Amino acid sequence: MNLTDLPADLLAERPHLFAAATVPVAAADHARMGELITAIEGVIALPVWQARAQKVDGVTTGNPRGTSGMASGVFMGYDFHLTDAGPQLIEINTNAGGGLLAALQAGGNDGSASDVLAAYVAMFRAEYAECAACAEFGGRELKTLAIVDTQPATQYLYPEFLAFEQLFAAQGIRAIVCDPDDLMLCHGGLWFEETRIDLVYNRLTDFTFSEPRHAVLREAWLDGVATITPHPRLHALYADKRNLVALTDDALLASWGVAVETRRVLLAGIPRTESVTPVRAADFWARRRQLFFKPAAGFGSKAAYRGDKLTKRVFDEILAGDYVAQEFAPPSTINIELNGEMIQLKVDLRNYVYRGVVQLVAARLYQGQTTNFRTPGGGFARVDST
């Protein structure tokens, strides 16, 4: 399977989806990113961490009926900036898009991405096998899968949804791309028209399924009638930005019994993060130029602000919201040639991870305040390990 198998017109409509550049990343930096991911996974496995993720913003995120409670989910994204102090974790995402497109880009046209693609398919099979519904269905194999997003054909990464259709079809799995409104609960299962859905690959950004139109998905997940991945509990465990506050609080980690070496890795690899409160407004305003402000439940850099760009009006909005402030870790840069001129682009490194194992590392190139797919010459880029 190659990128050339995707509709050329859709790719042409997204001229900044892929960058022609290759980003060199030292083996030592790969090792440090992997070490940090392992440290985070170890903390998240602690009973105290599991307990604190039972309820977020008034929404229960406990284990659905019959599940093992394992913290798993497809395409976990650990996003890093490369700095003079080494890789710095900027955030964790539970529905990190682009993993399949990045693998196809890295593989080129010679099929060298086949091992990664096989691992991706195995990942979805493993998710299904963990679900209680699998036993109720007699232990049958994964046969039907729904890739769910709001009006999927309008999404920027829609070409990836089509790529997944092809990938799964080649493995005998029917994949249906649909809107959540297209799904219904009946006869003890989750259905798309007359097809019972074994697994939902969830690409929604309503991480807790709290919107009324997502009630069907929430009920299907809680009742264990279909595998939903990623799911609300996973977001509470990993991706809520307030988790970064705990992961950079040495005293709190020590009180939980986290080993000294693990704490060292966490504090060295995650910029210190704090909850923003009105009572400390003067302190945060005075230090704003060294901080990056993010909404606790945000995604995709929405409503995120560099402190040195803040106006007083926006800062007041931050104080009224639910924000965290992270020490600013500037991204590395790469020079590329575009239309006969050299330009400088910023680099974000995304580790696609499943159950603590890094499956692929891809770069995203951009200009501006945050990662985007609007920069000429930017987009997903290959990573070359040096």
CATH number for position 307: 3.30.1490.20
Give the model's pLDDT for residue 141: 87
The answer to whether residue 303 scores a pLDDT higher than 90 is no
Would 54 be classed as within a structural domain?
yes
* Mean pLDDT value of segment 178-183: 97
Would 258 be classed as within a structural domain?
no
Containing structural domain, residue 321: 272-328
pLDDT band at 85 (very low <50, low <70, confident <90, very high): very high
pLDDT band at 111 (very low <50, low <70, confident <90, very high): low
Residues 173 and 77 in one domain: yes
Residues 200 and 319 in one domain: no
| Coil, helix or strand at residue 158 | helix
Would 249 be classed as within a structural domain?
no
Would 380 be classed as within a structural domain?
no
Residues 170 and 300 in one domain: no
Q: What residues contact 301, with CB distance under 8 A and at least 6 apart?
A: 369, 370, 371, 372
- As a whole number of angstroms, the distance between CA 293 and CA 296 comes to 9
Give the model's pLDDT for residue 107: 83
Each residue's pLDDT tens digit, 132-161 = 555 555 457 899 999 999 999 999 999 999
Residues 216 and 281 in one domain: no
- As a whole number of angstroms, the distance between CA 334 and CA 361 comes to 17
Give the model's pLDDT for residue 30: 97
Question: Which residues sit opposite 273 in a β-bridge?
Answer: 326
* Mean pLDDT value of segment 233-253: 95
Q: Taking a C-beta distance cutoff of 8 angstroms, is the pair 351, 78 a contact?
A: yes
Number of compact structural domains in the chain: 2
Residues 323 and 203 in one domain: no
Domain final position from 239, 262, 285: 239
Domain final position from 306, 328, 350: 328
DSSP 305-374: EEGGG--HHHHHHHHHS-EEEEE--PPEEEEEEETTEEEEEEEEEEEEEETTEEEEEEEEEE-SSS--S-
Q: Give yes or no for a cis peptide into 230 (omega within 30° of 0).
A: yes
Share of the chain above pLDDT 90, in %: 78
Residues 231 and 283 in one domain: no
pLDDT band at 68 (very low <50, low <70, confident <90, very high): very low
Residues 177 and 300 in one domain: no
The answer to whether residue 109 scores a pLDDT higher than 80 is no
Residues 144 and 30 in one domain: yes
Among 79, 20, 114, smallest CA distance to 270 is for 79
Give the model's pLDDT for residue 371: 76
| Coil, helix or strand at residue 22 | strand
- As a whole number of angstroms, the distance between CA 301 and CA 351 comes to 17
Would 74 be classed as within a structural domain?
yes
The answer to whether residue 356 scores a pLDDT higher than 80 is yes
Q: Which two structure tokens, joined as six digits, stand for 242?
A: 């307030």
- How far does the chain reach from its first CA to its final CA, in angstroms? 27
* Mean pLDDT value of segment 309-315: 93
pLDDT band at 385 (very low <50, low <70, confident <90, very high): confident
Would 376 be classed as within a structural domain?
no
Would 209 be classed as within a structural domain?
yes
> What pTM was computed for the model?
0.92
* Mean pLDDT value of segment 49-70: 61
Residues 36 and 179 in one domain: yes
* Mean pLDDT value of segment 346-366: 96
The answer to whether residue 299 scores a pLDDT higher than 70 is no
Would 365 be classed as within a structural domain?
no
Residues 169 and 303 in one domain: no
Residues 301 and 201 in one domain: no
Give the model's pLDDT for residue 60: 52
Domain final position from 239, 264, 280: 239
Residue 4 has, within 13 A of its CA and on its CB side, a CA count of 5
Question: Which residues sit opposite 343 in a β-bridge?
Answer: 336
Residues 289 and 145 in one domain: no
* Mean pLDDT value of segment 19-33: 96
